[in-house]
Amino acid sequence: MTGFRAAAVLVCIHKKKNRSTCGTLETNFRVADVSISPSWGRAAAATFLVGYIILVICFALAIIAFSIDTLRFNFVRGIGGLLFVAAVFSIMALVIYPVKYTNEIDMEGVNMFSWAYGFAWTTTIMEIGLGFFFCCLPNYEDEILGNVKPTYFYTSP
């Protein structure tokens, strides 16, 4: 969804010279009076899209890995690594977009990024957290599968 949101914003930015509001998804996004070079916008959308594609691949691999018993913990660290790669692409896009946006567009009045920008940061933080989760999960394989006898710390008097 990250790449789709970036593409929707880029459609709105696309070389308008007068102030107007965008249509479908980003109704509160306003375009300023300057002509925007679309190269940075395309770069931000491309990195969002690459991160999103990697995230979808990780989701599919996780479903496959957890549904087949022999693959259960073999792919998990690889999925965690791919999630970190997706997070790097998302962070690159989340840095390119606001830096170039504020450099090229005059910030007059109330100019805030839409909810989609915050949602993209939430997605990135979740990618990092899930990357740690998937990388650490094989360390607790026996506990998860129930192969270890539980240890109780209660002692009877």
Q: What is the CA radius of gyration of the chain?
A: 22
Whether 151 is covered by a domain: the verdict is no
Instruction: Give the DSSP H or E segment for 5.
Output: helix 2-13
d(CA 16, CA 136): 48
pLDDT 10s digits, 73-119: 778 889 999 999 999 999 999 988 888 877 777 777 666 677 888 89
Whether 153 is covered by a domain: the verdict is no
Whether 106 is covered by a domain: the verdict is yes
Q: For residue 17, is pLDDT > 90? A: no
Whether 154 is covered by a domain: the verdict is no
Find the CATH number of the domain harbouring 68: 1.20.140
Q: At residue 71, what is the residue type?
A: L
If you write DSSP's letter for every residue of 81-144 in order, what string do you get?
A: HHHHHHHHHHHHHHHHHHHHHHHHS---SS----HHHHHHHHHHHHHHHHHHHHHHGGGGHHHH
- Across the range 58-69, mean pLDDT stands at 88
Residue 70's domain spans which residues?
2-145
pLDDT 10s digits, 128-138: 999 999 888 87
Count: domains in the chain: 1
For the chain, the helix, strand and coil percentages under 3-state DSSP, each to the nearest 5: 65, 5, 30
Provide the strand spans (E) within 27-70: 30-31
